[in-house]
Each structure stands twice: as C-alpha cells, then as structure tokens.
A and B are shown apart, each in its own frame.
Chain A
Amino acid sequence: AQSVTQPDIHITVSEGASLELRCNYSYGATPYLFWYVQSPGQGLQLLLKYFSGDTLVQGIKGFEAEFKRSQSSFNLRKPSVHWSDAAEYFCAVVVAGNKLTFGGGTRVLVKP
C-alpha cells in the first residue's frame, strides 16, 4: 500500500540548535511532496513543496527540504530553531487527483 512515514513522533530540540525531520514515502513514481506545519489550535500552513527540478527546496520560516529519490525521502531541516517553531509538522504527498496523503506527523518541542 502507498504510504507516508514520519518515523519520529516527538522531537525535542534546544533553541538555536539544528532540526531535521524525517519523511519517507512508498510510491512507484515520484509524487509531489509537501511539508505543512500546524501550530496549536491552528490549521495547516504550507512550508514548502517539491514537484521536480532542484532536489533542495527552500521554504518559508527558514526551512528547507531535500528530496532523495534513492532513499524515497524528503527530510525537512532548519539550521537554527526558534521557540516559535514548536508545532506539529506533517509530510504529505500527492499521487493522484490532487489528494494529499499525510504522514502521522512529528511534534517538535523547543527547549529554551
């Protein structure tokens, strides 16, 4: 079955430290790939997306993600986290019909 996996349910990181969130997908072809962020009580906000071309994608809020076809991964990174980055992060793919399939999410806690 086609799926999106985020192996880490929770990650705790110190403010100013780097952050990497993992995402793996299992599809035959390269899907469209997205990262969304959800702050408490809020909807989902798009951080970045990958369709084709350069495999390193820049997004908002200082985030970037790298698509690695050989590993079926699309990991999200930020060099230096801020307390406001505490949120839940969702990786998602579009395979057909523009429907998003989401991973289970990774909750990020930021320590002062």
Chain B
Amino acid sequence: GAGVSQSPSNKVTEKGKDVELRCDPISGHTALYWYRQSLGQGLEFLIYFQGNSAPDKSGLPSDRFSAERTGGSVSTLTIQRTQQEDSAVYLCASSLGGSGNTIYFGEGSWLTVV
C-alpha cells in the first residue's frame, strides 16, 4: 500500500490476555518504529528496527512487551499479560533509514484493556 498500515485498528482485550499488533511499513523502508500514545504520557518511543541491525529496544516499558520484524518488512508488537495501563494507541512508523529521513506514521491500533 501507499502508507503504513496497521491492524487491528481497534482491539478490546481482557486483562491478562496477550495481544498482537501488526504493522506493514511502506515498501522499501528499512527503518520501522513503534510508539505508544496515551493520556498523560504523550508519545513514547518503544522500539526501532533498522535493516539487519539489532533493534533498539530501549523504550520498551517492561519485559511483557516485545516486537519482531520478519524479513525486514512486517512487524508485530506483542504485549503479554496485558494490564489496564497498557491501554493506549500504538503507532507504527517507517522511514528510509538514516538520520533525518522523514518518518511516516500509520493511523494506529487503539488498544483497550478491560
């Protein structure tokens, strides 16, 4: 597609369940990012993939959060044993990589943990 695609767009899950959020970056983009947007916390960096390099996981809030990027393209963000404080919008973004290239965002996956 033309832009960054995320699925599901909305997800309601019960506390304690695992969830997977998917991101399809723009074709040819080597860099992929996950951000979280929540009330009171603003936009937080979670994880960054660049090509075949080891991902920068410095923003993951706990070991319940993990992400993979298969084949240098699609990425999945997994949250295990969800908690209510995980409720947020999870935004995926991609770019051509390298400092200064424009980072394009998807519309986000809205996660509600009840």
Binding site for B on A (CB under 8 A): 32, 34, 36, 41-46, 49, 51, 90, 94, 96-105
Contacts and interface: CB of A to CB of B under 8 A. Distances in A.
B100 A94 contact: yes
Contacts of A44: 91, 93, 105
Nearest to B9: A41
Given A97-B56, A99-B33, A105-B42, A46 B48 contact: no
A101 B56 CA distance: 14
Contact of A43 (B33, B91, B97, B98): B91
B106 A43 contact: yes
Nearest to B108: A43
B50 A98 contact: yes
Interface string B27-38: 000010101000
Contacts of A101: 45
**Which residue among B95, B100, B101 has the maximum number of chain A CB atoms within 10 Å of its CB?**
B100
